[in-house]
Amino acid sequence: MSKIKILIGGCFDILHIGHIKFLKKARSFGDYLIVLLESDANIKKLKGNSRPFHSQKERKEILLSLKFVDKIIILPDIVDNTFYDNLIKKIKPNIIAITEDDPIKNKKLIQAKSIGAKLKVVKKYKSHSSSKIMNMTGI
């Protein structure tokens, strides 16, 4: 019997309850949760020069300490749509899980369809974002 693989991606810079609930819900869709972990350079581009707070290596270690995370794939600094598409084809997840506000939801839907996977949308838990946490604490 083969395992049902779930794929998610993200920064997971300052882990908070919203991340935990998303990771747990995504894992509940199958047997094996794989996380594509954004690079430090990509986070800096997305969120500004003060980010990331934790290095990619530290974020990997933090995520792997969670019992519902099975594998982390470290993403390189420069990736384009072709890289992501090829990676999805190589991993062949059964499910790609995203949050309801994912800015590239349509792209992920196309990726899922291209390999016969399902796209599962997880309702976003209303909590502090990593950016809000950093602003509130003055980090």
Which residues does the annotation mark as catalytic?
A: 45, 47
Taking CA 126 as the corner, what is the angle to CA 19 and CA 106, rounded to the nearest 5 degrees? 70
C-alpha to C-alpha distance for 122 and 101, rounded to whole angstroms: 9
> Which residues on adjacent β-strands are paired with residue 114?
none
Measured CA to CA in angstroms, residue 26 lies from 74, 78, 94, 104, 121 at distances of 19, 26, 12, 17, 9
- Among residues 36, 120, 40, the alpha carbon closest in space to that of 86 is found at 36
Question: To 5 degrees, how large is the angle CA 123–CA 69–CA 133?
Answer: 55
